[in-house]
């Protein structure tokens, strides 16, 4: 009787673990050419798969011949930069917005999304899009870490590096807590991420304070989550791309000689405000700006505060270029 009870109990536990895992995600669509047909931009065939990107072009009479490549952060694809890209294009810059692998309409390869993976991804994208002269590189959060990594290894290609709440320095939370350790554990991490993590990613994201801005996200981040591979790719990044205590990479970038700008927010609940001090310590010659009531999404929530900082930084590097057309619109110039 005892053995029978234990067997039944074990079966119930196994079923309780397996059924939600199998059931959740059964409605995910195959990511194929039909899915890619919904994409607004173009595709580049890279080593790890097809990568989607969008150019935001300046008006012909305003073009200054300069290119800005913008790397988005974790979870939200290229359109997180919509308001920023429009303001930069209005000032004459040609802006390249990729969906990094795992995001948006780009493929979701299953290889490790480590530092070498991100660096190769950016390098091959530049070749595919024929960005063959020095350019400005910009990144937000995880994209800021990836941008700094690439710039530190290819300083001759970089005219300036612009970072918005870059990951890689000090983060809220701990990297050695129970949840983090489970997520890094094979099988257990996949189960927790699939059953619990994806529900949190699909939940509405609210600003941490009433003053953190109400600028809209000009795109739907849930579309990418309709397709197979998105959620595993996000877990892959969290497992293989370190997002804290990477001071040496920022220090290498700071010593490379190209101009740097870093923008932090005092209400950011992802990147700790102590990152600003850590950044200043390793990149003493860089420009550092802290946006009051800025959260992790201030690039679109408070774009009217962030865009003038970006454009002023660029104007100081290009004093011969026009500086009187710095207004931001509410929509992207092109997709």
Secondary structure, 3-state, 58-96: CCCCCCCCCEEEEECCCCCCHHHHHHHHHHHHHCCCEEE
Is residue 8 situated within a structural domain?
A: no
Could you list the beta-strand ranges (E) of the chain: 42-46, 49-56, 67-71, 94-98, 135-140, 158-164, 260-265, 287-291
Is residue 125 situated within a structural domain?
A: yes
Q: Are 209 and 295 in contact (CB under 8 A)?
A: yes
Phi, psi torsion values for 250, nearest 5 degrees: -70, -35
What is the residue-level pLDDT of the chain in tens, covering all 335 positions? 666 565 645 555 545 556 666 667 788 999 999 999 999 999 999 999 999 999 999 999 999 999 999 999 999 999 999 999 999 999 999 999 999 999 999 999 999 999 999 999 999 999 999 999 999 999 999 999 999 999 999 999 999 999 999 999 999 987 778 888 888 898 888 989 988 888 888 888 788 888 999 999 999 999 999 999 999 999 999 999 999 999 999 999 999 999 999 999 999 999 999 999 999 999 999 999 999 999 999 999 999 999 999 999 999 997 765 544 433 333 333 33
Is residue 20 situated within a structural domain?
A: no
The Cα 232–Cα 25 span in angstroms is 11
What count of Cα atoms within 13 Å lies in the side-chain half-sphere of residue 156? 1
Is residue 67 situated within a structural domain?
A: yes
Is residue 17 situated within a structural domain?
A: no
The Cα 129–Cα 43 span in angstroms is 10
Quote the pLDDT of residue 332.
37
Is residue 331 situated within a structural domain?
A: no
Which residues, in sequence order, are CB contacts of 319 under 8 Å at separation 6+?
A: none
- Tell me the whole-structure pTM to 2 decimals: 0.91
The Cα 139–Cα 330 span in angstroms is 21
Q: Is 13 strand, coil or helix?
A: helix
Q: Is 53 strand, coil or helix?
A: strand
For residue 66, give its domain range. Answer: 29-317
* CATH number, position 114: 3.40.50.1820
Residues pairing with 65 in the sheet: none
Is residue 301 situated within a structural domain?
A: yes
Is residue 257 situated within a structural domain?
A: yes
Q: Are strands 158-164 and 260-265 parallel, antiparallel or unpaired?
A: parallel
Comparing CA positions, the residue from 164, 36, 91 lying closest to residue 314 is: 91
Structural domains counted in the chain: 1
Quote the pLDDT of residue 322.
54
Q: Are 250 and 271 in contact (CB under 8 A)?
A: no
């Amino acid at each position: 009787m005892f053995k029978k009870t234990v067997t039944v109990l074990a079966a119930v536990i196994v079923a309780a673990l397996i059924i939600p895992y199998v059931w959740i995600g059964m409605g995910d669509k195959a990511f194929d050419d039909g899915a890619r047909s919904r994409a607004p931009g173009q595709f580049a065939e890279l080593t790890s798969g097809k990568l989607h990107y969008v150019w935001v072009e300046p008006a012909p009479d305003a073009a200054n011949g300069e290119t800005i490549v913008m790397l988005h952060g974790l979870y939200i694809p290229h359109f997180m930069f919509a308001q920023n890209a429009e303001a930069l294009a209005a000032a004459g810059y040609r802006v390249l917005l990729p969906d990094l692998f795992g995001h948006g309409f780009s493929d979701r390869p299953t290889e490790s999304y480590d530092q070498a993976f991100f660096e190769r991804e950016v390098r091959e994208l530049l070749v595919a899009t024929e960005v063959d002269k020095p350019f400005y590189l910009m990144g937000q959060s995880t994209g800021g870490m990836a941008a700094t990594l690439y710039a530190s290894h290819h300083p001759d290609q970089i005219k300036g590096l612009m970072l918005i709440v870059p990951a890689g320095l000090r983060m809220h939370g701990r990297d050695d807590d129970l949840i983090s350790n489970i997520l890094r554990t094979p099988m257990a991490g996949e189960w927790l991420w699939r059953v619990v993590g994806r529900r949190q990613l699909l939940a509405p994201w609210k600003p941490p304070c009433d003053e953190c801005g109400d600028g809209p996200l000009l795109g739907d981040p849930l579309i990418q989550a309709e397709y197979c591979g998105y959620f595993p790719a996000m877990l892959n990044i969290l497992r293989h791309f370190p997002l804290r205590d990477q001071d040496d990479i920022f220090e290498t970038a700071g010593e490379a000689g190209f101009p740097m700008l870093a923008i932090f927010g005092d209400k950011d609940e992802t990147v700790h405000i102590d990152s600003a001090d850590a950044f200043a310590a390793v990149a003493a010659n860089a420009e550092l700006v802290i946006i009051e009531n800025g959260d992790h999404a201030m690039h679109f929530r408070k774009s009217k505060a962030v865009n003038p900082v970006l454009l002023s930084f660029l104007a100081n590097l290009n004093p011969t270029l026009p500086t009187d057309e710095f207004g931001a619109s509410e929509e992207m110039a092109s997709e």
